[in-house]
Amino acid sequence: MRVLSVASECAPLVKTGGLADVTGALPAALAGVGVQMRSLLPGYPAVMAALSDASPVHRFDDLFGGPAVLLQGQAAGLDLLVIDAPHLYARPGNPYLGPDGRDWPDNPERFAALSWVGAHVAAQGADGWHPQVLHGHDWQAGLMIEYLPRMGGAGVRTVLTIHNIAFTGSTDPGRLHSLRLDPARFYSEGYEFWGAISALKAGLMGADALTTVSPSYAEELMTPEFGMGLDGVMRHRQADLTGILNGIDEDAWNPATDPAIAAFDAPSGKAAAKTALQAELGLPQAAGPLCVIVSRMTHQKGLDLVLETLPALLDPGGQLAVLGSGDPGLEQAFRQAAGDPNVAVRIGYDEGLSHRLIAGGDAILVPSRFEPCGLTQMYGLRYGTIPVVALTGGLADTVINASPAGLARGVATGIQFAPVTAVALRGALMRLTRLFSDREVWTRMQVNAMAHPVGWAPSARAYADLYARLTQTP
């Protein structure tokens, strides 16, 4: 089975969030179930620098404003197709944002180019390699569904994965010409979305199959609360929608071999990792649980609720350590919270520190208002760091709640709370403190957490089955 993955980012080459983790891990996971996946990426500076043994396979005289070369090569164990288009991608920093922190004004054209090349490869092949399935990720790959039939790729089956429906890739209809779109398709059954062009809507309406990154998120997308104006589309495509839970890279996130920390045999060895983390962050020893957060600081992630409920954690002797960046107001609020000696905050992102936080923390807080899948709670499970999560999306699918029934049966792996309010989170933190004080129960939860399956094997089989159904391949 030959599959072309089309995405705007891919770990470890370029990453802003969980999308990159998924697109980076999926090729290796699928190789184990007989799927050959190549990944098409924009030629950002970091990608171009990592690319080895690159050779040109196609030239575009005018790829949305300038010439471009499609290269094939390898990097970080991935088989890559890379779009070398300096006029679109040779820019510093974030793939989506300029130095001023705002979207690049030509983002619609930059990612239309990604979709255009993806459709071209699907229809025409690349150096003799012809994919049977074109698998796009999020809005940045949505327009490939519009372009594919025009390029003669009607026989190629298509999949679009929704990692976060909040980002619709919408732009003014005045860009119809510059995006090379058929004006006749600018209607409700095409790519029109509340009077705008939506790259995501194009993919949602036209792909043969849709997937999301957890079963619960698939159900949530069909509701007005979570569908972000596209819930009607999701209900329309319900028969073609599948929720496939993400996994994590169990080699990169392995407490026994993690190079970012001293190896330890959790849960018994977590005490050493916690002591080392407290020393690194300047936190004193404390009687209560050390809670950690590794997150983007946005309204979605519910971190304002953590600030509102901090006394429920700190007053009984707990601590908080935070790593993240994003909304300037939240960043400043957490800096102010760090005036408490039992709160440590690091603004920015540091991969090594993220590993040490999850290894040394007693619990990891993920109070998201919505969460398509979430990965940090799975990192926590892997390291025996008890997740405290909102009951939504992938958080609901990956954590077994420490309810009376869950505790009685000895299967609990974390704490869930609902609704996503300060009152409910305060109650969850109080439960956390009580459970932490019962060492027998707490150790049982840590053991359960570390035994919980979080790898890619089940998800890889689900994707392979989907590809096989679409192509009618055994």
Q: How many CB atoms lie within 10 A of CB 421?
A: 17
Q: For residue 12, say if its preceding peptide bond is cis, omega within 30 degrees of 0.
A: yes
Label each residue of 302-316 as H, E or C.
CHHHHHHHHHHHHCC
DSSP lists the bridge partners of residue 262 as none
User: Within 13 Å of residue 174, how many CA atoms lie on the same side as its CB?
Assistant: 1
Look up residue 144 and give its two tokens: 């490939």
Helix 439-451 to helix 422-437 angle, to the nearest 10 degrees? 110
Establish whether 15 is an annotated binding residue: yes
- CA dihedral of residues 113, 117, 123, 129 (deg, nearest 10): -170
Map residue 199 onto helix, strand or coil: helix
Binding residues: 15
Binding site members for ADP-alpha-D-glucose: 15
